[in-house]
A and B are shown apart, each in its own frame.
Chain A
Amino acid sequence: MSASTETNAVVYDNLSVRLGGVSILENVSAKVPMGSSTAIIGPNGAGKTTMLLALLGEVPWSGGSVKKISFDGQPPKIGYVPQKLSFDRAMPITTLEFMVLGSQRSPLWFGSRKSSRDKALELLSMVHAATLANRRLGALSGGELQRVLLALALQQEPELLLLDEPASGVDFRGEHVFCELLENLRASRGFTQLMVSHDLGTVTHHATHVICLNRKVAAEGPPKSVLTPENLSAVFGIHMGLVDSSAMPTDVPAACSCKLCKQNKDKNSNA
Protein backbone atom coordinates (compact mmCIF):
# COMPACT_ATOMS: atom_id res chain seq x y z
CA MET A 1 0.00 0.00 0.00
CA SER A 2 2.98 2.29 0.37
CA ALA A 3 3.35 2.76 -3.39
CA SER A 4 -0.25 3.88 -3.70
CA THR A 5 0.57 7.55 -3.29
CA GLU A 6 2.99 7.53 -6.20
CA THR A 7 0.81 6.37 -9.09
CA ASN A 8 -2.85 6.95 -9.64
CA ALA A 9 -5.31 4.85 -11.60
CA VAL A 10 -7.80 7.69 -11.99
CA VAL A 11 -7.38 11.42 -11.67
CA TYR A 12 -10.38 13.74 -11.46
CA ASP A 13 -9.21 17.19 -12.41
CA ASN A 14 -11.56 20.03 -11.60
CA LEU A 15 -14.55 18.04 -12.84
CA SER A 16 -17.94 19.73 -12.98
CA VAL A 17 -21.18 18.10 -14.02
CA ARG A 18 -24.47 19.85 -14.56
CA LEU A 19 -27.59 17.92 -15.45
CA GLY A 20 -30.75 19.73 -16.47
CA GLY A 21 -29.46 23.01 -15.03
CA VAL A 22 -28.72 21.44 -11.64
CA SER A 23 -25.17 21.34 -10.47
CA ILE A 24 -24.27 17.75 -9.48
CA LEU A 25 -20.51 18.01 -9.12
CA GLU A 26 -18.56 21.24 -8.62
CA ASN A 27 -14.84 21.42 -9.36
CA VAL A 28 -14.13 17.95 -8.11
CA SER A 29 -10.47 17.10 -7.94
CA ALA A 30 -9.61 13.71 -6.54
CA LYS A 31 -7.43 10.71 -7.24
CA VAL A 32 -7.74 6.99 -7.03
CA PRO A 33 -4.35 5.47 -6.19
CA MET A 34 -3.28 2.52 -8.33
CA GLY A 35 -4.03 -0.76 -6.60
CA SER A 36 -6.04 0.89 -3.86
CA SER A 37 -9.48 0.22 -2.53
CA THR A 38 -10.94 3.68 -2.79
CA ALA A 39 -14.34 4.61 -1.42
CA ILE A 40 -16.41 7.64 -2.29
CA ILE A 41 -18.63 8.48 0.65
CA GLY A 42 -21.27 11.10 1.07
CA PRO A 43 -24.99 11.55 1.67
CA ASN A 44 -27.73 10.86 -0.86
CA GLY A 45 -27.58 13.29 -3.75
CA ALA A 46 -23.91 14.08 -3.17
CA GLY A 47 -22.99 13.06 -6.72
CA LYS A 48 -21.24 9.81 -5.82
CA THR A 49 -22.79 7.75 -8.57
CA THR A 50 -22.23 10.61 -11.02
CA MET A 51 -18.50 10.40 -10.31
CA LEU A 52 -18.56 6.74 -11.38
CA LEU A 53 -20.72 7.43 -14.41
CA ALA A 54 -18.40 10.22 -15.53
CA LEU A 55 -15.62 7.69 -15.45
CA LEU A 56 -17.69 5.33 -17.58
CA GLY A 57 -18.48 8.14 -20.01
CA GLU A 58 -22.17 7.88 -19.19
CA VAL A 59 -22.66 11.54 -18.20
CA PRO A 60 -21.36 14.58 -20.03
CA TRP A 61 -19.25 16.93 -17.95
CA SER A 62 -19.25 20.68 -18.26
CA GLY A 63 -15.72 21.37 -17.09
CA GLY A 64 -12.50 19.70 -16.05
CA SER A 65 -11.53 16.15 -16.95
CA VAL A 66 -11.32 12.55 -15.83
CA LYS A 67 -8.12 10.74 -16.65
CA LYS A 68 -7.93 6.99 -16.57
CA ILE A 69 -4.41 5.73 -16.44
CA SER A 70 -3.15 2.21 -16.81
CA PHE A 71 0.26 0.61 -16.70
CA ASP A 72 0.69 0.21 -20.43
CA GLY A 73 -0.75 3.56 -21.47
CA GLN A 74 -3.85 1.95 -23.01
CA PRO A 75 -7.23 2.93 -21.59
CA PRO A 76 -7.74 0.51 -18.70
CA LYS A 77 -10.29 -2.27 -18.83
CA ILE A 78 -13.18 -1.37 -16.60
CA GLY A 79 -15.50 -3.70 -14.74
CA TYR A 80 -18.69 -2.18 -13.43
CA VAL A 81 -21.06 -3.49 -10.77
CA PRO A 82 -24.21 -1.34 -10.83
CA GLN A 83 -26.05 -0.39 -7.67
CA LYS A 84 -29.21 -2.15 -8.55
CA LEU A 85 -29.79 -4.09 -11.70
CA SER A 86 -33.28 -2.96 -12.60
CA PHE A 87 -34.34 -5.57 -15.08
CA ASP A 88 -37.45 -7.47 -15.88
CA ARG A 89 -37.38 -10.27 -13.33
CA ALA A 90 -39.96 -12.25 -15.25
CA MET A 91 -37.55 -12.64 -18.14
CA PRO A 92 -36.70 -16.30 -18.63
CA ILE A 93 -32.92 -16.34 -18.53
CA THR A 94 -30.62 -18.46 -16.41
CA THR A 95 -27.65 -17.08 -14.53
CA LEU A 96 -25.32 -19.00 -16.80
CA GLU A 97 -26.95 -17.56 -19.92
CA PHE A 98 -26.64 -14.08 -18.44
CA MET A 99 -22.94 -14.68 -17.90
CA VAL A 100 -22.26 -15.61 -21.52
CA LEU A 101 -24.36 -12.84 -23.14
CA GLY A 102 -21.43 -10.49 -23.64
CA SER A 103 -18.81 -13.04 -24.58
CA GLN A 104 -20.59 -15.49 -26.87
CA ARG A 105 -21.65 -14.50 -30.34
CA SER A 106 -23.50 -17.63 -31.46
CA PRO A 107 -27.12 -17.24 -30.37
CA LEU A 108 -28.31 -18.76 -27.12
CA TRP A 109 -31.03 -20.63 -28.98
CA PHE A 110 -28.25 -22.89 -30.22
CA GLY A 111 -27.20 -23.29 -26.57
CA SER A 112 -24.09 -22.01 -24.90
CA ARG A 113 -20.69 -23.17 -26.10
CA LYS A 114 -18.70 -25.34 -23.75
CA SER A 115 -15.79 -22.91 -23.64
CA SER A 116 -17.95 -19.96 -22.59
CA ARG A 117 -19.87 -22.17 -20.16
CA ASP A 118 -16.67 -23.30 -18.47
CA LYS A 119 -15.38 -19.76 -18.25
CA ALA A 120 -18.66 -18.55 -16.74
CA LEU A 121 -18.70 -21.36 -14.19
CA GLU A 122 -15.13 -20.58 -13.22
CA LEU A 123 -16.02 -16.93 -12.60
CA LEU A 124 -19.17 -17.87 -10.72
CA SER A 125 -17.30 -20.20 -8.41
CA MET A 126 -14.78 -17.43 -7.79
CA VAL A 127 -17.60 -15.46 -6.16
CA HIS A 128 -19.13 -18.55 -4.51
CA ALA A 129 -22.05 -18.55 -6.90
CA ALA A 130 -21.47 -21.70 -8.96
CA THR A 131 -24.62 -23.27 -7.52
CA LEU A 132 -26.65 -20.41 -8.99
CA ALA A 133 -25.67 -21.22 -12.59
CA ASN A 134 -28.92 -22.92 -13.56
CA ARG A 135 -31.24 -20.78 -11.46
CA ARG A 136 -33.37 -18.15 -13.15
CA LEU A 137 -31.72 -14.73 -12.95
CA GLY A 138 -35.00 -13.18 -11.80
CA ALA A 139 -35.24 -15.59 -8.86
CA LEU A 140 -31.93 -14.58 -7.27
CA SER A 141 -31.85 -12.65 -4.00
CA GLY A 142 -30.20 -9.23 -3.79
CA GLY A 143 -26.96 -10.63 -2.42
CA GLU A 144 -26.81 -13.47 -4.93
CA LEU A 145 -27.43 -11.10 -7.82
CA GLN A 146 -24.69 -8.84 -6.57
CA ARG A 147 -22.16 -11.67 -6.57
CA VAL A 148 -23.24 -12.63 -10.08
CA LEU A 149 -22.76 -9.02 -11.20
CA LEU A 150 -19.31 -9.07 -9.64
CA ALA A 151 -18.48 -12.25 -11.55
CA LEU A 152 -19.68 -10.57 -14.73
CA ALA A 153 -17.46 -7.55 -14.05
CA LEU A 154 -14.50 -9.86 -13.45
CA GLN A 155 -15.11 -11.41 -16.87
CA GLN A 156 -13.67 -8.21 -18.33
CA GLU A 157 -10.44 -8.91 -16.46
CA PRO A 158 -10.67 -5.37 -15.17
CA GLU A 159 -7.77 -3.21 -14.17
CA LEU A 160 -10.29 -0.89 -12.62
CA LEU A 161 -13.35 -2.23 -10.83
CA LEU A 162 -16.20 0.19 -10.15
CA LEU A 163 -18.87 -0.70 -7.61
CA ASP A 164 -21.93 1.41 -6.93
CA GLU A 165 -23.24 0.94 -3.40
CA PRO A 166 -22.15 -2.69 -3.15
CA ALA A 167 -23.83 -2.96 0.25
CA SER A 168 -27.31 -1.78 -0.69
CA GLY A 169 -30.04 -4.38 -0.61
CA VAL A 170 -27.87 -6.88 1.22
CA ASP A 171 -28.13 -7.70 4.90
CA PHE A 172 -25.21 -7.02 7.19
CA ARG A 173 -23.77 -10.52 6.98
CA GLY A 174 -24.10 -10.58 3.24
CA GLU A 175 -22.36 -7.24 3.00
CA HIS A 176 -19.55 -8.50 5.16
CA VAL A 177 -19.08 -11.61 3.03
CA PHE A 178 -19.17 -9.54 -0.14
CA CYS A 179 -16.52 -7.11 1.06
CA GLU A 180 -14.25 -9.91 2.21
CA LEU A 181 -14.65 -11.53 -1.17
CA LEU A 182 -13.69 -8.28 -2.88
CA GLU A 183 -10.70 -7.84 -0.64
CA ASN A 184 -9.38 -11.28 -1.50
CA LEU A 185 -10.03 -10.86 -5.21
CA ARG A 186 -8.25 -7.54 -5.23
CA ALA A 187 -5.27 -9.14 -3.55
CA SER A 188 -5.15 -12.02 -6.04
CA ARG A 189 -6.00 -10.16 -9.23
CA GLY A 190 -4.43 -6.81 -8.49
CA PHE A 191 -7.12 -4.46 -9.76
CA THR A 192 -7.83 -0.99 -8.52
CA GLN A 193 -11.16 -0.76 -6.82
CA LEU A 194 -13.38 2.28 -6.67
CA MET A 195 -16.64 2.00 -4.81
CA VAL A 196 -19.43 4.31 -3.84
CA SER A 197 -20.89 3.92 -0.41
CA HIS A 198 -22.95 5.72 2.15
CA ASP A 199 -22.19 3.04 4.69
CA LEU A 200 -19.32 4.10 6.89
CA GLY A 201 -18.96 0.64 8.36
CA THR A 202 -18.04 -0.84 5.01
CA VAL A 203 -15.68 2.00 4.27
CA THR A 204 -13.76 1.81 7.49
CA HIS A 205 -13.37 -1.92 7.05
CA HIS A 206 -12.31 -2.12 3.49
CA ALA A 207 -11.03 1.15 2.09
CA THR A 208 -7.43 2.25 1.83
CA HIS A 209 -8.33 5.62 0.40
CA VAL A 210 -11.45 7.70 1.01
CA ILE A 211 -13.01 10.58 -0.90
CA CYS A 212 -15.59 12.53 1.11
CA LEU A 213 -18.04 14.06 -1.32
CA ASN A 214 -20.95 16.40 -1.11
CA ARG A 215 -20.97 17.87 -4.61
CA LYS A 216 -17.49 19.13 -3.75
CA VAL A 217 -14.67 17.12 -2.29
CA ALA A 218 -14.59 17.83 1.44
CA ALA A 219 -11.60 15.66 2.22
CA GLU A 220 -9.48 12.96 0.67
CA GLY A 221 -6.88 10.56 1.99
CA PRO A 222 -6.42 7.43 4.09
CA PRO A 223 -9.50 6.60 6.19
CA LYS A 224 -7.92 7.36 9.48
CA SER A 225 -7.07 10.94 8.58
CA VAL A 226 -10.22 11.61 6.58
CA LEU A 227 -12.96 10.12 8.73
CA THR A 228 -12.76 12.74 11.44
CA PRO A 229 -15.84 14.12 13.18
CA GLU A 230 -15.21 17.49 11.53
CA ASN A 231 -15.10 16.08 8.01
CA LEU A 232 -18.04 13.78 8.55
CA SER A 233 -20.31 16.44 9.94
CA ALA A 234 -19.26 18.73 7.12
CA VAL A 235 -20.35 16.12 4.59
CA PHE A 236 -23.22 14.31 6.26
CA GLY A 237 -24.50 17.02 8.56
CA ILE A 238 -24.27 17.29 12.30
CA HIS A 239 -25.76 13.92 13.27
CA MET A 240 -23.11 11.81 11.69
CA GLY A 241 -20.48 13.91 13.39
CA LEU A 242 -21.79 12.73 16.74
CA VAL A 243 -20.64 9.18 15.99
CA ASP A 244 -17.23 8.65 17.49
CA SER A 245 -15.73 7.84 14.15
CA SER A 246 -12.16 8.66 15.01
CA ALA A 247 -12.06 5.30 16.70
CA MET A 248 -13.52 3.41 13.77
CA PRO A 249 -10.73 2.93 11.27
CA THR A 250 -8.63 0.73 13.47
CA ASP A 251 -10.74 -0.43 16.37
CA VAL A 252 -12.76 -2.95 14.44
CA PRO A 253 -13.90 -6.13 16.12
CA ALA A 254 -12.16 -9.31 15.10
CA ALA A 255 -15.21 -10.46 13.16
CA CYS A 256 -13.61 -9.72 9.77
CA SER A 257 -10.92 -12.06 8.54
CA CYS A 258 -9.86 -10.12 5.47
CA LYS A 259 -6.27 -9.14 4.91
CA LEU A 260 -6.75 -5.45 5.37
CA CYS A 261 -8.52 -5.78 8.68
CA LYS A 262 -5.84 -8.10 9.94
CA GLN A 263 -3.21 -5.59 8.88
CA ASN A 264 -5.08 -2.85 10.64
CA LYS A 265 -5.41 -4.95 13.73
CA ASP A 266 -1.73 -5.83 13.67
CA LYS A 267 -0.80 -2.19 13.25
CA ASN A 268 -3.10 -1.37 16.10
CA SER A 269 -1.64 -3.90 18.48
CA ASN A 270 1.88 -2.86 17.58
CA ALA A 271 1.12 0.76 18.34
Chain B
Amino acid sequence: MPDLSPIYELMPRVFPFECMQARFMQTAMLGILLLAPMAASMGVQVVNFRMAFFADAISHSAFTGVAVGMILAYDPTLTMPVFGVLVGLAIMATQRRSKLSEDTVIGVIFSAVVAFGLAVVSRDRSMARDMQRFLYGDILTVTEGEVLFLAALFLVVIGFQAWSYNRLLYIGINQTLAKTHRIRIAFYQYFFAALLALIVVFSVRAVGVFMVTAMLIVPAAAARNMARSAGAMFWWALAVSIASAVPGLIISAQDWARTAAGATIVLIAFAWFAASMLYSSMRGRQKA
Protein backbone atom coordinates (compact mmCIF):
# COMPACT_ATOMS: atom_id res chain seq x y z
CA MET B 1 0.00 0.00 0.00
CA PRO B 2 1.49 3.37 -0.95
CA ASP B 3 2.23 5.70 1.93
CA LEU B 4 -0.10 8.68 1.96
CA SER B 5 1.38 10.39 5.01
CA PRO B 6 3.17 13.16 3.02
CA ILE B 7 -0.22 14.19 1.65
CA TYR B 8 -1.78 14.01 5.10
CA GLU B 9 1.00 16.15 6.57
CA LEU B 10 0.32 18.73 3.90
CA MET B 11 -3.33 19.03 4.92
CA PRO B 12 -3.00 21.19 8.07
CA ARG B 13 -0.74 23.57 6.16
CA VAL B 14 -3.13 23.96 3.22
CA PHE B 15 -6.15 24.18 5.53
CA PRO B 16 -4.88 25.93 8.68
CA PHE B 17 -7.59 24.90 11.10
CA GLU B 18 -7.18 23.19 14.40
CA CYS B 19 -9.46 20.35 13.43
CA MET B 20 -7.17 19.44 10.56
CA GLN B 21 -4.50 18.25 13.00
CA ALA B 22 -6.40 15.01 13.56
CA ARG B 23 -5.49 12.16 11.23
CA PHE B 24 -9.13 11.11 10.69
CA MET B 25 -9.90 14.64 9.47
CA GLN B 26 -6.96 14.50 7.09
CA THR B 27 -8.16 11.16 5.70
CA ALA B 28 -11.69 12.51 5.44
CA MET B 29 -10.48 15.65 3.64
CA LEU B 30 -8.52 13.63 1.11
CA GLY B 31 -11.50 11.31 0.63
CA ILE B 32 -13.95 14.15 0.03
CA LEU B 33 -11.48 15.95 -2.26
CA LEU B 34 -11.49 12.82 -4.42
CA LEU B 35 -15.18 12.03 -4.16
CA ALA B 36 -16.77 15.48 -4.61
CA PRO B 37 -15.22 16.37 -8.00
CA MET B 38 -15.82 12.83 -9.23
CA ALA B 39 -19.49 13.02 -8.32
CA ALA B 40 -19.80 16.53 -9.80
CA SER B 41 -18.21 15.55 -13.11
CA MET B 42 -20.58 12.61 -13.49
CA GLY B 43 -23.34 14.97 -12.36
CA VAL B 44 -22.89 16.98 -15.55
CA GLN B 45 -24.19 13.99 -17.49
CA VAL B 46 -26.72 13.04 -14.84
CA VAL B 47 -28.30 16.45 -15.39
CA ASN B 48 -28.01 16.21 -19.18
CA PHE B 49 -29.49 12.70 -19.27
CA ARG B 50 -32.08 13.57 -16.59
CA MET B 51 -30.88 10.65 -14.51
CA ALA B 52 -31.27 12.12 -11.02
CA PHE B 53 -33.87 9.47 -10.21
CA PHE B 54 -31.49 6.75 -11.40
CA ALA B 55 -28.90 7.96 -8.91
CA ASP B 56 -31.55 7.98 -6.21
CA ALA B 57 -32.48 4.39 -6.95
CA ILE B 58 -28.88 3.21 -6.81
CA SER B 59 -28.25 5.00 -3.54
CA HIS B 60 -31.22 3.28 -1.92
CA SER B 61 -30.15 -0.08 -3.31
CA ALA B 62 -26.86 0.34 -1.44
CA PHE B 63 -28.69 -0.63 1.70
CA THR B 64 -29.97 -3.81 0.08
CA GLY B 65 -26.37 -4.41 -0.90
CA VAL B 66 -25.50 -4.44 2.78
CA ALA B 67 -28.34 -6.85 3.45
CA VAL B 68 -27.14 -9.15 0.66
CA GLY B 69 -23.72 -9.12 2.28
CA MET B 70 -25.29 -10.21 5.57
CA ILE B 71 -27.07 -13.16 3.93
CA LEU B 72 -24.03 -14.33 1.99
CA ALA B 73 -21.73 -13.60 4.94
CA TYR B 74 -19.54 -11.33 2.81
CA ASP B 75 -18.05 -8.01 3.79
CA PRO B 76 -20.72 -5.35 3.09
CA THR B 77 -18.05 -2.91 1.86
CA LEU B 78 -17.63 -5.38 -1.00
CA THR B 79 -21.23 -6.42 -1.64
CA MET B 80 -22.51 -2.83 -1.56
CA PRO B 81 -20.64 -1.58 -4.66
CA VAL B 82 -21.06 -4.86 -6.55
CA PHE B 83 -24.78 -4.92 -5.88
CA GLY B 84 -25.11 -1.22 -6.76
CA VAL B 85 -23.42 -1.72 -10.12
CA LEU B 86 -25.62 -4.74 -10.88
CA VAL B 87 -28.77 -2.76 -10.10
CA GLY B 88 -27.52 0.11 -12.28
CA LEU B 89 -26.88 -2.20 -15.22
CA ALA B 90 -30.24 -3.93 -14.70
CA ILE B 91 -32.07 -0.61 -14.81
CA MET B 92 -30.21 0.45 -17.94
CA ALA B 93 -30.89 -2.88 -19.66
CA THR B 94 -34.61 -2.76 -18.82
CA GLN B 95 -34.86 0.87 -19.91
CA ARG B 96 -33.30 0.13 -23.27
CA ARG B 97 -35.69 -2.74 -23.97
CA SER B 98 -38.92 -1.58 -22.41
CA LYS B 99 -41.52 0.72 -23.88
CA LEU B 100 -42.27 2.05 -20.40
CA SER B 101 -40.97 5.50 -19.55
CA GLU B 102 -37.62 5.71 -17.80
CA ASP B 103 -38.94 6.86 -14.44
CA THR B 104 -41.47 4.03 -14.40
CA VAL B 105 -38.77 1.43 -15.05
CA ILE B 106 -36.57 2.91 -12.35
CA GLY B 107 -39.48 3.14 -9.92
CA VAL B 108 -40.38 -0.52 -10.39
CA ILE B 109 -36.86 -1.93 -10.01
CA PHE B 110 -36.04 0.51 -7.23
CA SER B 111 -39.02 -0.51 -5.10
CA ALA B 112 -38.38 -4.22 -5.65
CA VAL B 113 -34.76 -3.85 -4.57
CA VAL B 114 -35.58 -1.78 -1.50
CA ALA B 115 -38.41 -4.14 -0.54
CA PHE B 116 -35.96 -7.03 -0.64
CA GLY B 117 -33.54 -5.13 1.58
CA LEU B 118 -36.28 -4.25 4.06
CA ALA B 119 -37.47 -7.86 4.15
CA VAL B 120 -33.99 -9.04 5.03
CA VAL B 121 -33.38 -6.32 7.60
CA SER B 122 -36.74 -6.87 9.29
CA ARG B 123 -35.60 -10.40 10.14
CA ASP B 124 -32.39 -9.23 11.72
CA ARG B 125 -32.45 -6.44 14.31
CA SER B 126 -28.69 -6.25 14.57
CA MET B 127 -28.57 -4.38 11.30
CA ALA B 128 -29.81 -1.21 12.96
CA ARG B 129 -26.26 0.13 13.34
CA ASP B 130 -25.53 -0.37 9.67
CA MET B 131 -28.81 1.33 8.87
CA GLN B 132 -27.67 4.40 10.75
CA ARG B 133 -24.49 4.53 8.73
CA PHE B 134 -26.47 4.05 5.57
CA LEU B 135 -28.81 6.94 6.33
CA TYR B 136 -26.27 9.56 7.39
CA GLY B 137 -23.00 8.26 6.03
CA ASP B 138 -19.76 8.95 7.77
CA ILE B 139 -16.90 10.51 5.93
CA LEU B 140 -14.96 10.67 9.22
CA THR B 141 -14.64 6.89 9.45
CA VAL B 142 -13.32 6.43 5.90
CA THR B 143 -10.31 4.15 6.02
CA GLU B 144 -7.00 4.59 4.23
CA GLY B 145 -7.78 1.56 2.10
CA GLU B 146 -11.00 3.20 0.97
CA VAL B 147 -9.13 6.42 0.18
CA LEU B 148 -6.75 4.45 -2.00
CA PHE B 149 -9.68 2.86 -3.78
CA LEU B 150 -11.22 6.31 -4.27
CA ALA B 151 -7.94 7.54 -5.76
CA ALA B 152 -7.97 4.64 -8.24
CA LEU B 153 -11.62 5.29 -9.06
CA PHE B 154 -10.78 8.98 -9.49
CA LEU B 155 -8.28 8.14 -12.20
CA VAL B 156 -10.80 5.89 -13.95
CA VAL B 157 -13.54 8.54 -13.83
CA ILE B 158 -11.33 11.35 -15.10
CA GLY B 159 -10.03 9.06 -17.83
CA PHE B 160 -13.57 8.11 -18.79
CA GLN B 161 -14.66 11.75 -18.80
CA ALA B 162 -11.71 12.79 -20.94
CA TRP B 163 -12.35 9.97 -23.37
CA SER B 164 -16.12 10.23 -23.74
CA TYR B 165 -17.30 13.67 -22.60
CA ASN B 166 -18.19 14.76 -26.14
CA ARG B 167 -19.86 11.49 -27.02
CA LEU B 168 -21.96 11.46 -23.85
CA LEU B 169 -23.01 15.02 -24.55
CA TYR B 170 -24.01 14.03 -28.08
CA ILE B 171 -26.04 11.06 -26.82
CA GLY B 172 -27.68 13.40 -24.30
CA ILE B 173 -28.76 15.76 -27.07
CA ASN B 174 -30.15 13.25 -29.55
CA GLN B 175 -29.55 9.52 -29.84
CA THR B 176 -30.52 9.10 -33.48
CA LEU B 177 -28.15 11.87 -34.52
CA ALA B 178 -25.38 10.37 -32.42
CA LYS B 179 -25.96 7.04 -34.10
CA THR B 180 -25.51 8.54 -37.57
CA HIS B 181 -22.11 9.64 -36.29
CA ARG B 182 -21.41 5.96 -35.54
CA ILE B 183 -21.35 6.41 -31.78
CA ARG B 184 -21.95 3.10 -29.99
CA ILE B 185 -24.70 4.30 -27.70
CA ALA B 186 -25.25 1.09 -25.73
CA PHE B 187 -21.59 0.84 -24.80
CA TYR B 188 -21.43 4.38 -23.43
CA GLN B 189 -24.73 4.03 -21.60
CA TYR B 190 -23.73 0.83 -19.80
CA PHE B 191 -20.25 2.09 -18.98
CA PHE B 192 -21.67 5.32 -17.66
CA ALA B 193 -24.33 3.54 -15.59
CA ALA B 194 -21.79 1.19 -14.01
CA LEU B 195 -19.36 3.95 -13.15
CA LEU B 196 -22.11 6.18 -11.82
CA ALA B 197 -23.40 3.33 -9.64
CA LEU B 198 -19.94 2.84 -8.15
CA ILE B 199 -19.61 6.53 -7.31
CA VAL B 200 -23.10 6.65 -5.86
CA VAL B 201 -22.42 3.71 -3.56
CA PHE B 202 -19.25 5.34 -2.28
CA SER B 203 -21.09 8.59 -1.78
CA VAL B 204 -23.64 6.75 0.34
CA ARG B 205 -20.77 5.59 2.51
CA ALA B 206 -19.48 9.17 2.80
CA VAL B 207 -22.52 11.43 3.03
CA GLY B 208 -25.51 9.14 3.51
CA VAL B 209 -28.35 8.11 1.26
CA PHE B 210 -30.25 11.39 1.45
CA MET B 211 -27.35 13.50 0.30
CA VAL B 212 -26.01 11.45 -2.62
CA THR B 213 -28.16 12.90 -5.36
CA ALA B 214 -27.30 16.38 -4.14
CA MET B 215 -23.57 15.63 -4.41
CA LEU B 216 -24.16 14.73 -8.05
CA ILE B 217 -26.59 17.30 -9.30
CA VAL B 218 -26.30 20.47 -7.21
CA PRO B 219 -22.82 21.42 -8.52
CA ALA B 220 -23.89 20.52 -12.07
CA ALA B 221 -27.09 22.54 -11.73
CA ALA B 222 -25.14 25.57 -10.50
CA ALA B 223 -22.68 25.04 -13.36
CA ARG B 224 -25.53 25.15 -15.84
CA ASN B 225 -26.51 28.56 -14.57
CA MET B 226 -22.97 29.88 -14.76
CA ALA B 227 -21.58 28.33 -17.93
CA ARG B 228 -22.15 29.54 -21.46
CA SER B 229 -20.52 26.52 -23.08
CA ALA B 230 -20.42 22.77 -22.56
CA GLY B 231 -16.69 22.93 -21.87
CA ALA B 232 -17.10 25.55 -19.16
CA MET B 233 -19.93 23.63 -17.51
CA PHE B 234 -17.52 20.85 -16.60
CA TRP B 235 -15.08 23.22 -14.87
CA TRP B 236 -17.84 25.09 -13.07
CA ALA B 237 -19.21 21.83 -11.69
CA LEU B 238 -15.78 20.85 -10.38
CA ALA B 239 -15.22 24.30 -8.88
CA VAL B 240 -18.57 24.35 -7.10
CA SER B 241 -18.08 20.83 -5.74
CA ILE B 242 -14.68 21.63 -4.23
CA ALA B 243 -15.85 25.01 -2.96
CA SER B 244 -18.62 23.17 -1.11
CA ALA B 245 -16.78 20.07 0.07
CA VAL B 246 -13.79 21.76 1.69
CA PRO B 247 -15.59 24.43 3.74
CA GLY B 248 -18.40 21.96 4.44
CA LEU B 249 -16.10 19.43 6.05
CA ILE B 250 -14.21 22.08 8.06
CA ILE B 251 -17.34 23.82 9.31
CA SER B 252 -18.91 20.52 10.32
CA ALA B 253 -15.92 19.89 12.62
CA GLN B 254 -16.09 23.27 14.37
CA ASP B 255 -17.25 23.33 17.97
CA TRP B 256 -20.02 25.83 17.22
CA ALA B 257 -21.38 23.74 14.39
CA ARG B 258 -20.86 20.01 15.05
CA THR B 259 -23.17 19.11 12.14
CA ALA B 260 -23.11 16.07 9.89
CA ALA B 261 -20.41 16.58 7.26
CA GLY B 262 -22.56 15.45 4.30
CA ALA B 263 -25.44 17.75 5.17
CA THR B 264 -23.12 20.72 5.71
CA ILE B 265 -21.44 20.18 2.35
CA VAL B 266 -24.78 20.00 0.56
CA LEU B 267 -26.04 23.16 2.31
CA ILE B 268 -23.02 25.09 1.11
CA ALA B 269 -23.45 23.66 -2.39
CA PHE B 270 -27.02 24.87 -2.28
CA ALA B 271 -25.82 28.35 -1.33
CA TRP B 272 -23.61 28.34 -4.44
CA PHE B 273 -26.58 27.18 -6.47
CA ALA B 274 -28.72 30.04 -5.13
CA ALA B 275 -25.96 32.49 -6.03
CA SER B 276 -25.80 31.02 -9.53
CA MET B 277 -29.56 31.46 -9.91
CA LEU B 278 -29.19 35.10 -8.95
CA TYR B 279 -26.36 35.53 -11.44
CA SER B 280 -28.27 33.82 -14.22
CA SER B 281 -31.42 35.88 -13.69
CA MET B 282 -29.36 39.10 -13.61
CA ARG B 283 -27.65 38.12 -16.83
CA GLY B 284 -31.03 37.34 -18.36
CA ARG B 285 -32.33 40.78 -17.40
CA GLN B 286 -29.30 42.48 -18.87
CA LYS B 287 -29.93 40.80 -22.19
CA ALA B 288 -33.61 41.68 -22.29
Contact = CB atoms under 8 A, between A and B. Distances in A.
A97 interface: yes
B229 A97 contact: yes
Contacts of B172: 87-88, 91
Interface string A57-87: 0100000000000000000001110100111
A109 B231 contact: yes
Contacts of A106: 162
Interface string A81-115: 01001111011111001101111111111111000
A112 B166 CA distance: 10
A226 interface: no
Nearest to A96: B229
B176 A94 contact: no
Given A82-B174, A85-B174, A107 B166 contact: yes
Nearest to A20: B99
A93 B224 contact: no
A231 interface: no
Contacts of A168: none
A106 B173 CA distance: 18
A113 B169 CA distance: 17
Nearest to A92: B227
Interface stretch (B6-14, B71-79, B177-185, B200-208): B177-185
A268 B187 CA distance: 55
A109 B166 CA distance: 9
B190 interface: no
B181 A92 contact: no
Given A91-B48, A91-B224, A101-B166, A108 B176 contact: no
Contacts of A228: none
B286 to A, nearest CB: 15
Contact of B235 (A82, A104, A109, A112): A109
A176 B165 CA distance: 37
A58 B178 CA distance: 12
Interface in B208-260: 224, 227-235
Contacts of B48: 88, 91
Interface SS majority for chain A: loop
Contacts of A80: 176-177, 180
A152 interface: yes
A32 to B, nearest CB: 17
Contact of B176 (A58, A104, A112): A58
Given A92-B233, A108-B230, A109-B234, A82 B176 contact: yes
A235 B180 CA distance: 31
B174 A92 contact: no
Contacts of A156: 180-181
B224 A107 contact: no
A56 interface: yes
Contact of B231 (A111, A136, A152, A153): A111
Nearest to B169: A101
B177 A85 contact: yes
A92 B179 contact: no
Nearest to B231: A108
B163 A105 contact: yes
Nearest to A112: B231
A108 B180 contact: no
Contact of A102 (B163, B183, B233): B183
Contacts of A149: 177
B53 interface: no
Given A91-B48, A156-B181, A108 B174 contact: no
B174 A93 contact: no
B177 A91 contact: no
Contact of B229 (A94, A101, A102, A103): A94
B164 to A, nearest CB: 8
Interface in B138-192: 161-163, 165-167, 169-170, 172-174, 176-181, 183
Contacts of A91: 48, 172-173, 224, 230
B173 A102 contact: no
Interface string A123-157: 00000000000001000000000000100110010
Contacts of A103: 181
B176 A98 contact: no
19 contacts: A58-B179, A82-B174, A85-B173, A87-B174, A90-B224, A91-B173, A92-B228, A92-B233, A100-B166, A101-B169, A101-B173, A102-B166, A102-B170, A102-B178, A106-B162, A107-B161, A107-B162, A108-B169, A111-B231
Q: Please provide the 3 A-B residue pairs with the shortest distance between their CB atoms, ordered closest to farther.
A: A102-B181, A107-B165, A109-B234
Interface of B: 48, 50, 99, 161-163, 165-167, 169-170, 172-174, 176-181, 183, 224, 227-235
Given A80-B180, A85-B174, A101-B167, 19 more contacts: A56-B179, A85-B173, A86-B174, A87-B172, A91-B48, A91-B172, A92-B230, A93-B229, A94-B229, A94-B230, A98-B173, A101-B181, A103-B181, A105-B166, A108-B166, A108-B231, A108-B234, A110-B231, A111-B231
